[in-house]
């Protein structure tokens, strides 16, 4: 049986004449031999194409739109350069992420600082680096921000992160816009309004320019986004009458769902952009608030992007990067528990991918050196860590597998390497980028020495 590759694999992935998986013209079996496993392989062309696709989908519909890459999904100098080349900005949450941006020379006006508990050092580092946009998450950081802005003689542009009480229908750990979320200022309780008033008090030091909401992750339904746009624009109107606020930026966060298994359908970028931009146009009634420098007609009008200076901001993380990488593991032990299940143990697991253990995330796999062999067994892919919950995949159909075979798991680009740990003191994997038949290391494999370098032994 000639199996084909599903579109869970990056776009340059092929099955080559040796019946092996190939990415960007590189045979994955050769890559595993050269760089070792577990190995994360990024498809450079896929990553760049995806960034351009998402950027263009929004810019063609709303000229003044800015796509920020949510760096928590995975940031490294290589990734930073790819997204910088594509003209994207970034959403950062730490000094580490800021430092990478600084090293690659990303212009600070495309950096938005986030966080539900930003430290004074982080805010200071961001302002000193020239970062223009701070997304305020709570009342306490307003005074801190005003003090630091004063000290550094800068005038940051601020967005209020709101919790609009919208359920995004996703895993409960990934729902961040609901009323009880630790993120954002709850709109219903008056706290969001209070934050805006406090900011107005510091108007000479801080400029409130916009509203933000990130309602969650792995969202496949567009309705929660429409509701969020309605909630945010309504609140902008309230703020206009309360404190004369002029909305200049609307930031809708990220969260766009990405399929990890064949049964999940991808959200088409074009549909996403069309729905968001058109519901945004629909929600702009000039009677409610006026967009600076614009000449907007009330609802139902068909606005042209040129008619508004209002900036639409988006912060996808996973949707920009998840599908561009494949994780490759080597099979070691195989344990058949008769009438129960067969475990195929690999040389990675929860140390490089915590998502199945943490969220019950689903994945699929192929045998990279037996790509066209027909499936004959159903097995679980178990990790090597000392934890019963360390199961990467509960059940997957595979050809007969033996020790030394290579398991390839697609959709490995987001929230795996950045959430990796050294549990059991096992070094974190190498990451490579492949393009046009060549592969290069973008993160070398950790060594035991690397892991021990912070321990003090007197
Ligand atoms: N903007 C903000 C303010 C965020 O907090 C996040 C993600 C994003 C954008 C990007 O969300 P995305 O488009 O990647 O869904 N570790 C979890 C995901 C946590 C997301 C945290 N915030 C996972 O592995 O599924």
Q: Write out pLDDT tens, residues 38-61.
A: 999 999 999 999 999 999 999 999
Which 8-state DSSP code applies to residue 280?
H
Q: What is the mean pLDDT of residues 383-403?
A: 97
Q: How far apart are CA 161 and CA 136, in angstroms?
A: 6
* pLDDT at position 376: 96
Residue 309 pLDDT > 90, yes or no?
no
Q: What is the mean pLDDT of residues 110-120?
A: 97
Q: What is the mean pLDDT of residues 236-249?
A: 93
Inter-axis angle of helices 77-85 and 44-59, nearest 10: 40
Q: Which residues contact 358 (CB under 8 A, 6 or more apart)?
A: 173
Q: What is the mean pLDDT of residues 345-366?
A: 98
* Domain 14-42+323-452 part of CATH 3.40.50.12780: no
Does any ligand 1 atom lie closer than 6 A to the CB of residue 70? yes
Does any ligand 1 atom lie closer than 6 A to the CB of residue 314? no
Instruction: Please indicate whether the domains covering 14-42+323-452 and 107-316 agree at the CATH topology level.
Output: no
* pLDDT at position 285: 57
| Radius of gyration of the CA atoms of the chain, in A | 24
Dihedral (CA of 413, 416, 418, 422) sign: negative
Least confident range of 78-82, 114-118, 263-267, 383-387: 263-267
Residue 288 pLDDT > 70, yes or no?
no
- Asked if residues 20 and 41 have their Cβ atoms less than 8 Å apart, the reply is no
Does any ligand 1 atom lie closer than 6 A to the CB of residue 127? no
State which fold the 107-316 domain adopts: TIM Barrel (3.20.20)
Ligand 1: nearest atom to the Cα of 419: 16
**Which of 317, 355, 417, when mutated, tests ligand 1's pocket best, judged by the most ligand atoms within 8 Å of its CB?**
317
Q: What are phi and psi of 35, to 5 degrees?
A: -105, -10
Per the prediction, the chain carries an average pLDDT of 92
From 395, 367, 404, 381, select the one nearest 15 (Cα to Cα).
367
Residue 363 pLDDT > 60, yes or no?
yes
Dihedral (CA of 196, 197, 202, 207) sign: positive
pLDDT band at 405 (very low <50, low <70, confident <90, very high): very high
- Classify 451 in phi/psi space as left (phi over 0), alpha (psi -120 to 50) or beta: alpha
pLDDT digits (tens, 9 = 90+) for 246-274: 999 999 999 999 999 999 988 899 999 99
Q: How far apart are CA 72 and CA 92, in angstroms?
A: 7
Q: How far apart are CA 214 and CA 149, in angstroms?
A: 25
Q: What is the mean pLDDT of residues 214-220?
A: 94
Task: Write the residue with the smallest CA distance to atom 4 of ligand 1.
Answer: 214
Catalytic residue among 374, 386, 397, 403: 386
pLDDT > 70 fraction of the chain, expressed in percent and rounded: 94
* pLDDT at position 3: 61
Examine the residue annotation and report whether 454 is marked as an active-site residue of this protein.
no
Of residues 302 and 53, which shows the higher confidence score?
A: 53
Does any ligand 1 atom lie closer than 6 A to the CB of residue 321? no
Can you tell me whether residue 381 is helix, strand or coil?
A: strand
* pLDDT at position 307: 43
- Asked if residues 348 and 286 have their Cβ atoms less than 8 Å apart, the reply is no
Q: What is the mean pLDDT of residues 441-458?
A: 96
Residue 328 pLDDT > 60, yes or no?
yes
Can you tell me whether residue 447 is helix, strand or coil?
A: coil
The domain locations on the chain are 14-42+323-452, 107-316
From 329, 324, 332, 363, select the one nearest 442 (Cα to Cα).
324
């Amino acid at each position: 049986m000639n199996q084909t590759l599903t579109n869970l694999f990056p776009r340059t992935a092929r099955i080559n004449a040796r019946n092996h998986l190939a990415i960007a013209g590189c045979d994955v079996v050769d890559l595993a031999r050269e760089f070792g496993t577990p190995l994360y392989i990024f498809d450079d062309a896929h990553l760049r194409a995806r960034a351009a696709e998402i950027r263009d989908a929004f810019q063609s519909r709303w000229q003044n739109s800015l796509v920020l890459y949510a760096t928590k999904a995975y940031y490294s100098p290589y990734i930073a350069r790819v997204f910088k080349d594509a003209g994207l900005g970034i959403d950062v949450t730490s000094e580490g992420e800021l430092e990478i941006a600084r090293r690659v020379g990303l212009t600070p006006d495309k950096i938005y600082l986030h966080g539900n508990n930003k430290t004074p050092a982080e805010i200071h580092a961001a302002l000193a680096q020239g970062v223009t946009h701070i997304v305020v998450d709570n009342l306490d950081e307003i005074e801190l921000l005003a003090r630091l802005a004063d000290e550094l003689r800068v005038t940051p542009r601020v967005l209020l992160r709101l919790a609009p009480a919208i359920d995004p229908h996703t895993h409960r750990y990934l729902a961040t816009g609901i009323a009880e979320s630790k993120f954002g200022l709850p709109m219903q309780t008056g706290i969001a309004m209070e934050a805006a008033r406090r900011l107005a008090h510091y108007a000479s030091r801080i400029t409130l320019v916009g509203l933000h909401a990130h309602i969650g992750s792995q969202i496949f339904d567009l309705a929660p986004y429409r509701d969020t746009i309605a909630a945010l624009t309504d609140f902008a109107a309230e703020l206009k009458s309360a404190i004369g606020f002029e909305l200049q930026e609307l930031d809708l966060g990220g969260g766009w769902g990405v399929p990890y298994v064949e049964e999940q359908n991808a959200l088409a970028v074009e549909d996403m952009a069309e729905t968001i931009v058109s519901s945004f146009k629909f929600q702009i009634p000039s009677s409610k608030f006026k967009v600076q420098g614009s000449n907007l007609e009330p609802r139902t009008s068909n606005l042209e992007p040129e008619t508004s200076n209002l900036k639409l901001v988006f912060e996808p993380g996973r949707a920009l990067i998840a599908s561009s990488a494949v994780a490759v593991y080597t099979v070691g032990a195989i344990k058949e528990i008769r009438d129960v299940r067969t475990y195929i143990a690999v040389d990675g697991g929860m140390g490089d991918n915590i998502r199945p253990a943490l969220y019950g995330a689903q994945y699929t796999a192929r045998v990279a050196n037996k790509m066209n062999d027909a499936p004959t067994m159903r097995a679980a892919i178990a990790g090597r860590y000392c934890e019963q919950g360390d199961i990467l995949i509960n059940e997957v159909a595979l050809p007969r597998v033996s020790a030394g075979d290579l398991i390839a798991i697609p959709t490995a680009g987001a929230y795996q390497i950045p959430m990796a740990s050294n549990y059991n003191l096992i070094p974190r994997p190498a990451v490579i980028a492949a393009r046009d038949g060549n592969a290069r290391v973008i993160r070398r494999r950790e060594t035991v020495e690397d892991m021990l370098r912070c321990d003090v032994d007197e």
